[in-house]
């Protein structure tokens, strides 16, 4: 049985468009597989402005092109308020911790196979996990 990968990425505090494009490029590298599963750790984001929100939506779009998903973890209270006020909270599943977000991929969604997962380096499930 082949393990499914969950990639956890740290979203740094982004201060310019070049940094945002760099992050999106890193994410695109993770979406080269079918059905990418990506967790974005937002704990370092101090300001969830329009540019960051558009970046997150672009990340989700890239994953969805390959029938994948992006989940957000550790979104600060201000960021959660922005997600709610813009309606983006209906698009993203958010979790308090990276571990919870990664674990949420273990429960198969309709149309997804129920193979065990491993992460992209941050967390790893036992080889026999279901």
Is 129 inside a domain boundary?
A: no
Is 27 inside a domain boundary?
A: yes
Which residues span the domain enclosing 110?
Answer: 4-119
19-62 pLDDT tens trace: 999 999 999 999 999 999 999 999 999 999 999 999 999 999 99
Domain count, the chain: 1
Is 64 inside a domain boundary?
A: yes
Is 30 inside a domain boundary?
A: yes
Distance CA 35, CA 61 (A): 12
Residue 69 pLDDT class (50, 70, 90 cuts): very high
| Structure confidence at residue 125 (pLDDT) | 40
Q: Is pLDDT at 118 greater than 80 in this prediction?
A: no
Give me the CATH number covering residue 52.
3.30.750.24
Is 127 inside a domain boundary?
A: no
Is 24 inside a domain boundary?
A: yes
Is 125 inside a domain boundary?
A: no
């Amino acid at each position: 049985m082949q393990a499914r990968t969950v990639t956890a990425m740290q979203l740094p505090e982004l201060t310019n468009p070049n940094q945002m494009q760099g992050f999106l490029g890193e994410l695109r590298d993770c979406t080269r597989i079918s059905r990418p599963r990506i967790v974005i750790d937002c704990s370092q984001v101090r300001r969830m402005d329009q540019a960051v929100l558009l970046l997150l939506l672009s990340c989700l779009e890239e994953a969805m092109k390959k029938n994948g998903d992006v989940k957000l973890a550790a979104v600060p209270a201000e960021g959660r308020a922005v997600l709610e006020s813009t309606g983006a909270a209906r698009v993203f599943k958010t979790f308090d911790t990276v571990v919870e977000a990664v674990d949420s991929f273990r429960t198969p969604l309709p149309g997804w196979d129920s193979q065990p997962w491993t992460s992209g380096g941050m967390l790893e499930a036992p080889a026999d996990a279901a």
